[in-house]
Amino acid sequence: MFYVLISTGVVIPLHKLKAINSSTSRVNPAEKYIQVIPVDNHEFWYMGFLNYEGAVRLLQEALETRDVQAV
């Protein structure tokens, strides 16, 4: 079983993740966010990543890999 651990102490099992979305502030484009949505549709928003693009890519790859393995 795989987990996604975010430094705030939130642990979401990979099989309970529904979506990962990237977002940028319209007011300040330097503010970039990652929205994490588990299967219960609760939303978690995170910002302040040292490597934002890398974090988004790795989270999306984890979801894709999980979906491929489930088939």
The parent domain of residue 19 ranges over 3-70
pLDDT of residue 8: 63
Higher pLDDT, 66 or 53: 53
pLDDT confidence of 69, banded at 50, 70, 90?
confident
The residues, any chain, with a CB within 8 Å of residue 20's CB and separated by 6 or more, are 34, 35, 36, 37, 56, 59, 60, 63
pLDDT confidence of 7, banded at 50, 70, 90?
low
Q: What is the CATH number of the domain that holds 46?
A: 2.40.50
Please give the Cα distance from 62 to 2 (Å, whole number).
9
16-29 residue pLDDT tens = 999 999 999 999 99
Residue 34, Cβ density class (10 Å: 0-12 exposed, 13-18 middle, ≥19 buried) = buried
Count: domains in the chain: 1
